[in-house]
Each structure stands twice: as C-alpha cells, then as structure tokens.
C-alpha cells in the first residue's frame, strides 16, 4: 500500500512540473510573436554585451581608487646637519606635501577658476564640457581634447598614464566616479595641489611657490596665486623668461574668472591685473651647495641601505620623504674645504697650466653641451667656461648661458672645446685659472664616538665626483708606523727600549731575494736609540727592526684589527707599502685617542620616515632609566661605552704620548705653534707619491693626504711635514680657536716616570722642563716595565769609587776644620768635645 501511494504522488508531481513548464514556454512563445518584446530583448542583450565590452576594454584592470586614501606622493629626502638645520635634499621632483587646510582659500579658488569652476557641484565629470569636447574632437583631426575635471586629473596623474587616447579618457572617467565615492572633495583637492606638475621641476603648489617666487604659499599675493593657477595647462607655454606677455594674459583671464564667480572684488581684480608677473630667476634649492663630498657620501650610504627609486620600497632615497640627521658640521666642513684647497693650490703654484677640466664637441650647440656636463665650481670668483676659438695668444670663451668673453693670455695647449676655469677681470675680459692636477682628501672625526664632522674628497666635487677621502686607496707611508710600534709595545718593548738604527737586511724568499732597508732620504744610521726617538724622527730602520722583533704576523694583525687594511706579513708593509683610505686611517688614530676602543666612522646619526618614525639609528646602545620622569635616587644612568676594546688602553695611551713628541720635537714641529696638546704623525710614501698627516687633539682628529690620482713622483722635496701638516695647521687654526686645551688623559694603571730622553734611563735627580728638547722627560710605562736602578758591576764599582772619594774629601775637610778649632780654643776638656771636633762618628 505504501509503495503504491508513493508512486501515485510522484506521477502527480511530474505531471504538474511538465504542465507548468509547458505553459511557461507557451507564454514566452506567444510574447515572442510580438514585435515590441523582441525589441526589448534585443535592447537588454545589447546592454549586457555593452557592459561586458566596457568592462573588458576599459574597466577590467583599473586600479583601486581606494588606494588613494593611503597614497603617499614621492617626496625628496632632506638632509640635516648635526644641529638639525637643512643643508641638502635628494630629489628628482621638487615637492613639499601640505595638508588642505594649509593652502590659502584664495589660492584654492584660483585653481578652481582656472581648472574646474563647478568642482564642488559635480560628481566627478563635467557633462557640458564633455559634450563640447566631443563636438570639437569630431570636427577636428588633431590631438583629442577633453574636459577633465580636477578629479579626472587626479585619476590620470596618480592612477593612470598620460597616454593620449579615447580609451584612457574613458578609464579616467570611470575612476573619477570611483574616486568621488571614496574621497571627500577636500581630500581630492589636497592630492591635486600636492601632485600637479608646474614646471621648474616643481611638483605641487608649495614647491612651485618657492621655485617661481621664493615664497611659501601663505605669503603669495593674489597676482602670484593666479599665475601659478595657469601652469597646469602647460608650464612651458607660460615660461616667464620666454612668454611673459602670454603668461600675463592668461593670468588676467584667471583673475577675471575669480571676479565673475564673486571670489574677489573688482578693485582686487584691477590691482592684481596691473601687476607684473614678479617671478624670480630660476634657481636650485637654497642649501644645495653645502658639504658636496659629505652629502654625496650620505647619499651613497642611503641608497645602499634603502634603495634609490620607488620600486625599492617605501623608504627610497628619491621618493621616500626621509629626514636624515647627519654629523655634518657646516663650519668645520668649510674650514676643511678651504684648508685642502689651499694646500693643493700651494703645491700647484708656479707649475704651469695643468690642462683642461674636460672637453666637449664644439658646434652651434656648445652652450647646451657645456650645461649638460654639470661641471661647476664654488671656489672664489671662478666660473666654468669653454674655449671657443683660441687665437693670437688668447682665446674667445663661452659660458653655459650663451654669453661670451675673452682671455688675453692662454697657453698654446688650449684647444677649442676645452672646459676651463676663469675669473673675471672686468668687462668681457677674463683670466685663465689653473685647477690643480694634484688632488687629495681630508676627514675630520670626533674621536669619542666616531662621528665624521667634515669630509673633502678633492678640489671641487662638481669638477670631480670621485671622493678621495673614502674611495682613494693610497699608500700611507710612515703614518702606519704607530701601529707597528704599538704591536712592539704589546710584545714586551717600552718607549725607552733601545733599538739599533743601523742597516737591516732580510732574506724574503727565493723569488723576492734579499731586501735591505734604508732610512728616508738615505739618512745615516744613528746607532742605538729609544723607541720613542725612532717614532719622533720616523726612522725606517728602527721600524723594521721593531716589526721584525714583534713579528710581522702580529703587526699585520694589529693593522687589520684597527681597520686600516688586510696585508701580508712582509716587512715592507711596516713602512706603509699597503693601501688604505683617509677615512680608515683617521678612524684608526681616533681609536688610539679613544684608549684603543673600537669606533665606526659614521656620517648618518639617524633616519626618520615621512611620519617621523626613526627607521635607522647609528648609535644602537640602550640607556636604561635615562628617560625617567624623576630622579630615582640612584647614580646617573649612562650608556655603555661604544665598541669593543681592540687594543690595550695603556698601549694606546703610550702611543698617543709618543706621538705628542712628533709634534713637539719630531717631523711635525711646525704644528707646535698651535700651543695645545696634539698628537700626530707625518707620512711620505716611496717616490714620493703621497704625503700624509694624521692627528689632532683629544676632541678632534683629522687626516689628510695629497697625491696625483694616477700616482707619480711629486718631487724630491715633497714630504708629509712640509705639505700635509701645513694643511692641518691651516684647518686647526680656525677649527680649534676657542676650544679648551684638553690634555690627553691616561688610563688607569699607567706609570709616569722621569727618564733621560736620549738614553731612556731612569732619572732621579733632574726634572722635566717646558723646553720640548729637555734632557729629562716624563715617559709612559705599563706596571713593572719602567726602568730600574742599574746593578751592573762596572756601574756599581764606579758609583762606589765616587762615593769613597766623596767621603775621603769630606773627612779631610772635617779634620782640617777640627785642627783649626783646637788651635783657637785650646785642649779639649772631654770626650764629647773631642768627638765633635773630629766631625762625628764615622
């Protein structure tokens, strides 16, 4: 029974479905017979197909408009000095990002008058404008025109390309609708005013205000606002240098539109329309030439860490909007630049013209070619020019702005196309200047924390970007010797150790053969001398003996540990045959002044992103409880010392004390006139091809070298003491003026002992004097290494004989006085008187 009922119910349901389906198709079939139904279906089909085609052709891969809510425009990286003052910026687009509230209302209205009067009324598209554009495009075969609203321009500039096509216009319109849904009108205007290109490499209105008027937006006058508002249509069409009248006409059109919209009064219109453009000459950032080599080193390190372009990440150098605090001291940088340039010019004076800076091809485009070399100079009143037509002992010259002049005296080697430096004499006459062929580098460092205060890598960074302070690998000569002797001090020697200054030869290998060393300038041997004297007088023979006794394996290990270089254990490296940089060697001397504690030379203190978050910090030490709101009753918290201990503090101080002798009575005596505690060492490499000085005070260490980029002989007279040390003196006279005369502080455990300066023997009777060449000096020893009293037999016998002779003489004198007294006073009355008459008991 149950099965039969189920079968009956199933048959009934199937019948109903069949009947229902049949009736549906019958109704559709009856409707299809009607014409209006077929037209309706065709229309709906076309709509669906059209929607699909629009999606497929225009909207399928459109970017998300919501991304604009978190959009961050490319911003330049700003570099600040040690005191927080901006000194440079890295940018391919000059832009300053402002909030909408920071733009004056009148400035906003000027842009609305010029670009989109109904901006606050429409929903993203200007339909009357679109209709006009369609008619124009149909009737014209030229470039398609549009009626882009500000919203559409934002869509094009931020989410699309600048492709000229109808497809891009349709995509732009779709995006405009979407943008209006996700952003407010004020947010859209903020994006627009910060992003729009306005010429002179200025992106955004604030950057343009600075580029054209040298003002911030809140200081612009009405006529200046109107001029900036005409630039989005085509900055090159309204360049003030070329199209001034066209720019004034368009500016006044914007002013009239503002008047017609009731945004300004008739009197404001008349006053503004009567004004000239008032733009300034095109110029770069106001701080663009501060610290050329230094800021280039900062840029190089930032690119290495964060990348260069947008695709490198959110912190890229040219678009990330980073704020970089550096250790640059602009004042010291200026002193460093002047001192190195002065030394280069002194060496080059009287040597004749060194040749052109560079060359270009000469044709009617020479001003553009000269400008595109980006060669410049900020030295004195020098200017960069190109020789156009040498003739009659002189030459016609030209400048990058197209102007010309003449030099009346030119060397015969000068050719057309040579880029040269000249200085004005008056009128159109100029004098040829000689850019030194010799070059060099200089670094100034804080020896307490490793921060680089100044850096100069050549004569002028716009003539040569090669940074010789960090990139040039040069032989340091005798400036390496302190680290050789420091190794000797670590292995048992003392400043008073006697070392033979005599011929020294060594068999190196079958291929290298026998090597015999000699003093600089073939100076004669001086016999046994103290280690201190050997450093002060920079004796090569004593240095190689000290290195040989301490072991060259140990010497090169010390040199590597101090960050100077990685050398093979050959004795020649003890005399500076290896290569290093000014930066590395200056840092090594700073570590000596820092009691042998590790320092890392840094030019960047910290980096912040555009929101102010610190994303890099050079000093990573933590200081517990340093930020307490109130004193907790405990000793003042201090961060732990920087770096590891790379050298025994007492060894480092011994070396610093010895190097003070180089200043007072050694190869750098010309620095004694600075009259302050200084240490340092001169250096001259074989040839001589390089001359050096590295040294300074407890508060400031500097290193400098001079040499040709392609090493060659500088002349027999060239020495570190005569060429490099005067550069340091010129710098220090200005940089150290007013600084406290801080002495070098000895570490715990050091023993100061009076010794004979020549022999190194301990002195008990005499005292050091202010004379730098005093016979008795204070010398520095580690515990239990200071000279003791001599116990040699011959010395002891000589002292006994001298004492015996002294006693005999005293006794004879006493007997003589006693006999004379007895004659005068008669016979003695008791034993006491007798004993006293005889001079006491012996």
Spatial separation of the C-alpha atoms in residues 696 and 674, rounded to whole Å: 11
The half-sphere exposure of 189 on its side-chain side, counting CA atoms within 13 A, is 22
Please give the backbone phi and psi of residue 150, each rounded to the nearest 5 degrees, phi first. -60, -35
Count how many Cα atoms sit within 13 Å of the Cα of residue 547 in the half-sphere of its side chain.
Answer: 30
Chain center to CA of 713: 31
Residue 383 phi/psi, 5° resolution?
-135, 155
Query: Using CA atoms, how far apart are residues 377 and 389, in angstroms rounded to an integer?
Result: 23
State the DSSP code for 801: H
Burial of 162 (0-12, 13-18, 19+ CB in 10 A): exposed
State how far the alpha carbon of 544 is from the alpha carbons of 504, 541, 647, 758, in Å: 8, 5, 21, 20
Q: Coil, strand or helix: which one is 89?
A: strand
Sheet strands (E) in 53-163: 77-80, 86-90
**Token representation of residue 573:** 């490296």
Query: CA Rg, the chain, in Å?
Result: 43
Beta-strand relationship, 429-433 and 404-407: parallel
SS3 state of residue 17: helix
Positive or negative: CA dihedral 155, 156, 158, 161: positive
The distance of Cα 418 from the centroid of its chain, to the nearest Å, equals 31
CB-CB contact of 680 with 728 (8 Å): yes
Tokens 């495009």 belong to which residue?
137
Cα(508)–Cα(514) distance, integer angstroms = 6
Burial class (CB in 10 A: 0-12, 13-18, 19+), 718: buried
Number of H helices, E strands in the chain: 23, 22
DSSP 316: -
Helix, strand or coil for residue 247? helix
- Is the torsion defined by CA of 134, 136, 138, 140 positive or negative? negative
**Residue (of 590, 485, 480, 588) closest to 532 by Cα position:** 485
Torsion of the alpha carbons at 94, 179, 152 and 92, rounded to the nearest 10: 20
d(CA 778, CA 72) in angstroms, rounded, equals 65
Q: What's the rounded Cα separation, in Å, for the pair 643 and 650? A: 17
User: What does the block give as tokens for 339?
Assistant: 């001192």
Ranges assigned E (strand) in 314-412: 323-326, 358-359, 383-391, 394-398, 404-407
Ordered alpha helix ranges (H), 65-149: 105-115, 127-139
Residue with tokens 């026998």, as numbered in its chain: 514
Q: In the beta sheet, which residues pair with residue 756? A: 776
In whole angstroms, give the CA distance from residue 125 to residue 130.
Answer: 8
Q: Which amino acids are annotated catalytic? A: 115, 478
Q: How many CB atoms lie within 10 A of CB 704?
A: 30
Rounded to whole angstroms, the Cα distance separating 534 from 252 reads 82
Residue 181 contacts residue 65 (beta carbons within 8 Å):
yes
Alpha-carbon dihedral 218, 224, 225, 228, rounded to 10 degrees: -120
**Structure tokens given for 570:** 């050959």
Helix (H, G, I), strand (E, B) or coil at 451: strand
């Amino acid at each position: 029974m149950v099965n039969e009922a189920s079968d009956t119910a199933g048959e009934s349901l199937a019948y109903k479905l069949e009947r229902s389906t049949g009736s549906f198709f019958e109704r559709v079939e009856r409707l299809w017979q009607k014409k209006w139904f077929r037209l309706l279906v065709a229309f709906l089909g076309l709509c669906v197909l059209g929607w699909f085609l629009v999606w497929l052709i225009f909207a399928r891969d459109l970017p998300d408009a919501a991304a604009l809510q978190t959009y961050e425009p490319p911003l330049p990286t700003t570099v600040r000095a040690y005191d927080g003052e901006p000194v440079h910026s890295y940018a391919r687009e000059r832009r300053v990002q402002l909030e909408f509230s920071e733009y004056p209302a009148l400035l906003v209205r000027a842009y609305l008058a010029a670009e989109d009067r109904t901006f606050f009324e429409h929903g993203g598209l200007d339909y009357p404008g679109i209709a006009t554009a369609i008619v124009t495009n149909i009737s014209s075969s030229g470039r398609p025109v549009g009626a882009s609203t500000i919203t559409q321009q934002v869509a094009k500039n931020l989410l699309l390309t600048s492709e000229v096509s109808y497809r891009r216009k349709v995509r732009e319109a779709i995006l405009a609708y979407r943008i209006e849904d996700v952003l407010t009108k004020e947010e859209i205007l903020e994006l627009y005013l910060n992003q729009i290109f306005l010429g002179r490499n200025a992106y955004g209105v604030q950057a343009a205000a600075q580029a054209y008027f040298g003002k911030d937006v809140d200081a612009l006058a009405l006529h200046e606002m109107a001029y900036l508002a005409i630039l989005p249509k085509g900055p090159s069409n309204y360049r003030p240098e070329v199209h001034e009248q066209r720019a004034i006409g368009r500016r006044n059109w914007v002013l009239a539109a503002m008047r017609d919209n009731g945004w300004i009064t008739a009197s404001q219109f008349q006053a503004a329309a009567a004004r000239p453009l008032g733009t300034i000459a095109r110029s770069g950032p106001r701080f663009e030439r501060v610290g050329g080599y230094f800021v280039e080193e900062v840029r190089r390190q930032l690119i290495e860490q964060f990348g260069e372009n947008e695709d490198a990440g959110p912190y890229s150098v040219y678009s990330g909007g980073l704020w970089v605090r550096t250790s640059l001291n602009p004042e010291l940088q200026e002193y460093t630049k002047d001192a190195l340039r002065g030394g280069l010019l002194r060496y080059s004076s009287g040597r004749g013209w060194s040749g052109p800076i560079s060359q270009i091809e000469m044709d009617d485009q020479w001003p553009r070619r000269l400008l595109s070399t980006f060669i410049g100079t900020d030295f004195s009143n020098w200017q960069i020019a190109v020789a156009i037509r040498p003739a009659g002992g002189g030459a016609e010259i030209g400048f990058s702005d197209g102007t010309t002049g003449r030099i009346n005296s030119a060397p015969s080697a000068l050719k057309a196309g040579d880029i040269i430096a000249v200085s004005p004499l008056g009128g159109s006459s100029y004098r040829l200047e000689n850019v030194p062929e010799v070059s060099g580098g200089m670094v100034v460092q804080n020896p307490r924390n490793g921060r680089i205060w100044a850096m100069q890598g050549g004569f002028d960074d716009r003539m040569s970007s090669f940074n010789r302070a960090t990139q040039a690998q040069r032989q340091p000569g005798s400036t390496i010797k302190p680290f050789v002797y420091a190794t000797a001090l670590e292995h048992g020697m003392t400043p008073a150790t006697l070392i033979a200054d005599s011929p020294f030869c060594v068999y190196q290998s079958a291929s290298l053969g026998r090597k015999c060393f000699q003093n600089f300038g073939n100076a004669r041997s001086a016999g046994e001398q103290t280690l201190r004297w050997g450093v002060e007088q920079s004796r090569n023979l004593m240095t190689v003996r000290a290195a040989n006794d301490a072991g060259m394996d140990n010497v090169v290990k010390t040199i590597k540990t101090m960050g100077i270089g990685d050398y093979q254990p050959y004795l020649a490296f003890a005399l500076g045959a290896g290569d290093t940089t000014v930066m590395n060697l200056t840092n090594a001397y700073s570590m000596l002044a820092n009691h042998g504690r590790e320092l890392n030379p840094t030019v960047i203190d910290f980096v912040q992103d555009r929101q102010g978050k610190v994303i890099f910090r050079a000093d990573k030490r933590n200081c517990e409880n340093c930020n307490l709101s109130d004193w907790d009753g405990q000793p003042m918290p201090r961060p732990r010392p920087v770096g590891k201990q790379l050298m025994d503090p007492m060894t480092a101080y011994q070396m610093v004390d010895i190097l003070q002798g180089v200043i007072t009575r050694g190869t750098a005596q010309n620095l004694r006139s600075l009259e302050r505690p200084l240490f340092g060492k001169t250096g001259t490499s074989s040839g001589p091809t390089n001359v050096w000085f590295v040294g300074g005070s407890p508060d400031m260490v500097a290193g400098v070298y001079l040499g040709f980029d392609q090493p060659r002989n500088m002349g027999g007279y060239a020495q570190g003491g005569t060429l490099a040390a005067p550069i340091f003196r010129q710098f220090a006279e200005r940089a150290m003026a007013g600084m406290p005369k801080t002495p070098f502080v000895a570490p715990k455990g050091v023993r100061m002992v009076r010794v004979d300066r020549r022999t190194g023997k301990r002195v008990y009777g005499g005292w050091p004097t202010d004379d730098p060449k005093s016979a008795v000096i204070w010398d520095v020893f580690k515990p239990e290494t200071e000279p003791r009293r001599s116990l040699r037999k011959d010395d002891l016998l000589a002292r006994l004989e001298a004492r015996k002779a002294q006693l005999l003489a005293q006794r004879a004198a006493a007997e003589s006085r006693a006999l004379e007294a007895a004659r005068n006073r008669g016979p003695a009355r008791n034993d006491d008187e007798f004993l006293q008459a005889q001079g006491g008991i012996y």
